[in-house]
Amino acid sequence: RKEVEQDPGPFNVPEGATVAFNCTYSNSASQSFFWYRQDCRKEPKLLMSVYSSGNEDGRFTAQLNRASQYISLLIRDSKLSDSATYLCVVNVLGGTSYGKLTFGQGTILTVHP
């Protein structure tokens, strides 16, 4: 079983749609969670951190369920510019685990006019 699993998609949605991505992780010692965004042939860039209480940044909402080891990302009012691959990322903190992120394989989103 992969440490971090995502539905690879692709998700094809019209502008203005709401889309949700899910992610599960297997290591219960994971303490730090993120969503990264990666545009075609570019480097991953941090979209948002995910906190236990859930957090929102504009049109983006992230949720964490530690009991189910499940992370989600909701995008509301999708824009063409949201088209990208979304990467779920976890980190086990402490000791020599810093600098050592585990990535899901990514979910591809295409927003069309």
Toward another protein, which CB reaches closer, 22 or 105? 105
Q: Which of 19, 21, 35, 106 binds another protein (CB under 8 A)?
A: 106
DSSP symbols for 28-54: TT--EEEEEEE-TTS--EEEEEE-TT-
Which of 8, 20, 19, 39 lies closest to 103, judged by CA?
8
Which of 76, 75, 3, 93 lies closest to 37, judged by CA?
75
Toward another protein, which CB reaches closer, 62 or 106? 106
- Restricting to residues 8-47, name those near another protein by CB under 8 A: 8, 32, 34, 42-46
Q: How far is the CB of 55 from another protein (least distance, A)?
A: 12
**What is the dihedral sign for C-alpha 65, 70, 71, 74?**
negative
Toward another protein, which CB reaches closer, 17 or 101? 101
CA 61/CA 20 separation, integer angstroms: 9
Toward another protein, which CB reaches closer, 30 or 78? 30
CA 95/CA 72 separation, integer angstroms: 27
Q: How far is the CB of 56 from another protein (least distance, A)?
A: 18
Residues that bind another protein (CB under 8 A): 4, 8, 32, 34, 42-46, 49, 87, 91, 93, 96, 98-106
